[in-house]
Structure 1
Amino acid sequence: MDWLEDEHVTRYLSDSRHVSRFIEQVIGRVQLPILTHLFNQGGRFFMAYDRDDVPVGFVRLVKAGTDCEMVLVIGNRDNWGRKLGASAIREGMKLAFFDMRAEKLIAKIHADNERSLKAFERCGFLLESQTPALHSFAMTSDRYLRLLRESPADYVTDIHITEVDKARLRSLLAFEHTSTVFELEHEIERAIVVDPHQVAQDVVTMNSRALVQLDDEKVEVALVYPEDADGSAGKLSVCSGIGTAILGYKEGDAFDWRMTNRTRHIRIEKVLYQPEAAGDFHL
């Protein structure tokens, strides 16, 4: 609410300029601990956090037929210039195309809003139409998938999966309907696909065991299919948060991964067992 009382934040907002007053009225009127369903009316509402789990803004995705419109706010002006907008756009694209199954994602940006114009252009959006006051940018599903495969972003590390694992995981996705499965689909789409006989021995493939550092704790885990998962034995489903996160990374890779309610700092310390390296191609 404080962000939306700032004229510098709201002057380019494509949502209603009365949105902050609406939020204030909702909070004052409804005695509920969770307001998600109210904010999701007419679309999907997501808070945006930085890597230190500090809230920095929000994203609204509004579906209209097969199209989806993104409304993005980085609320505190002190955070402008940190490229948080581009990061939020990339997460919004992932949700729009893999979770909401949009065919096209649209961003309507005020002609004077130079930061947003540059951020959406950097993320691959193309100008679709414009007036003196408003530029309309669009990203199609086909273009998004092509960019994901052909032009990996500088901020992410390449991951590798085998042809066999990709085929099995695609079959799995056809039957999985958990809330986090779109993250797995995203990782499969961006992965470099390799022959099982040629995958590097230090890559985490399916049914691999690895020593992983999660924040400040080192744990030994096995990456398995959902039917083999057993948390007490360290067998993590590839559909789980950490399971999806470590797929395809190799020894020495370190990265941040956003879970439902926090960011985990992950490092692959060592691959202890890999089926392909051991000649166990049936696994």
Structure 2
Amino acid sequence: MAIAMKGFHPLQKPVVKMNKPFISLCPEITRAHALTLMGWLEDERVTCYLSDSRDVSRSIEQAIDRSQLPILTHLFNRGGRFFMAYDRHDTPVGFVRLIKTGAQCEIVLVIGDSDKWGRNLGARTIREGMKLAFLDMRAEKLIAKIHPDNSRSLKAFLRNGFLLERETPTLKSFAMTAADYLQRLRTGRLADATGIYITEIDKARLESLIVLEEGPAVVELEHELERAIVVKPQQVARNVVTMNSRALLQLDDEELEVTLVYPEDADSSRGKHSVCSDIGAAILGYQEGDAIDWRIAERTRRIEIRKVLYQPEAAGHFHL
């Protein structure tokens, strides 16, 4: 494993921080990605602490030679799940591999773009890997095996709450359990973004919903539900996006009016976006003035909540 490298008062206004690192993990692997990966793995600074770098490089080369298809995802997912890590500019900066064996999952992570080292992308990528391992793959424990001299990796995993489980002169094994991960989310110790608020009623309904739904946006929604500050419907600030709220958004350079609805009421042609869609999962719980980066339709978008035009709780419509 090598790394080189989101007390409560309902009217409190969060400070939007624009300089936090952003990473999204994408499962589709193209031939262009494979060539980029090979380039990274030819850099000794990248591979010096990656114990299986030769095997990884050889398997990538074999994948390219074996198939002329433009998409190689199926070849990279043999024996585990492979993801390209993108920054907020949609530039590949590294990769993550998750290998699940029984209830345990191992994470292998590399920030391969040396120009991006020192920007805290490694720690942010770890958090995205944790999200997938615990909320999508349902691992009970996540393990990282790190060379003792790889100080960047050691600090990044320790900063994210991993605990040293065992060590040898050539390897340190760190671990985190699913229970600890959820506890850290709920207490804000893994926050990478502005705090969000959700009502007790909305959370109960959405927790029942995500059991029946699937997809990347549902994983993101579950993550948001776990980290949200839960308040009574009568206490939520009037400028928070709750379920069935209508809000004016700035989506990059485009202004968009959106109503946040449950899946059965969705009709994007009329501006009604499901909470299980990319936009829906993104805006839940944020307030007027908040701005976030979010992966929508395979690219990173900047979303700003310009104004909450209607909120059921503010209107006294608690049945919605």
- TM-score class, shorter: over 0.9
1:82, 1:122 → 2: CA distance?
A: 15
Partner residue of 1:172? Answer: 209
* 1:210 aligned onto 2:235: no
Partner residue of 1:70? Answer: 107
Residues 252, 302 of structure 2: 8 Å contact kept: yes
**1:14: how far off?**
3.6
Which one of the candidate residues 88, 107, 111 is aligned to 2:144? 107
Partner residue of 1:8? Answer: 45
| RMSD, aligned α-carbons | 1.1
Partner residue of 1:268? Answer: 305
Which one of the candidate residues 169, 174, 177 is aligned to 1:140? 177
- State the one-letter code of the partner of 1:71: V
**1:15: how far off?**
3.2
Residues 15, 71 of structure 1: 8 Å contact kept: no
Partner residue of 1:199? Answer: 236
Q: C-alpha offsets along residues 148-203 of structure 1, whole Å, 9 cap, x if unaligned?
A: 11134463100000000000001111211234311110000000000001100000
Report the 3-state secondary structure (helix = DSSP H, G, I; strand = E; otherwise coil) of the residue aligned with 1:135: strand
Partner residue of 2:193? Answer: 156
Partner residue of 2:125? Answer: 88
**1:114: how far off?**
0.4
Q: Determine what percentage of the aligned residue pairs are the same residue.
A: 72
**1:16: how far off?**
4.8
Partner residue of 2:70? Answer: 33
1:243, 1:14 → 2: CA distance?
A: 41
Partner residue of 2:262? Answer: 225
In structure 2, relative to structure 1, the CA distance for the partners of 1:178 and 1:22 (3 Å cut) is closer
**1:18: how far off?**
2.4
1:67, 1:274 → 2: CA distance?
A: 42
Residues 14, 108 of structure 1: 8 Å contact kept: no
2:85, 2:313 → 1: CA distance?
A: 39
Partner residue of 2:96? Answer: 59
Normalised by the size of structure 2, how large is the TM-score?
Answer: 0.86
More RCO (CA 8 Å, sep 6+): 2
Q: Which runs of 5+ in 1 are unaligned?
A: none
1:217, 1:260 → 2: CA distance?
A: 15
Bigger Cα displacement from structure 2, 253-262 vs 200-209: 253-262
Residues 152, 190 of structure 1: 8 Å contact kept: no
Normalised by the size of structure 1, how large is the TM-score?
Answer: 0.97
Partner residue of 2:316? Answer: 279
- Structure 1 segments of 4 or more deviating over 4 A? none
Q: C-alpha offsets along residues 208-247 of structure 1, whole Å, 9 cap, x if unaligned?
A: 0000111111110000000000010000000000100000
**1:25: how far off?**
2.0
Report the 3-state secondary structure (helix = DSSP H, G, I; strand = E; otherwise coil) of the residue aligned with 1:93: helix
Q: Which runs of 5+ in 2 are unaligned?
A: 1-37
1:86, 1:46 → 2: CA distance?
A: 16
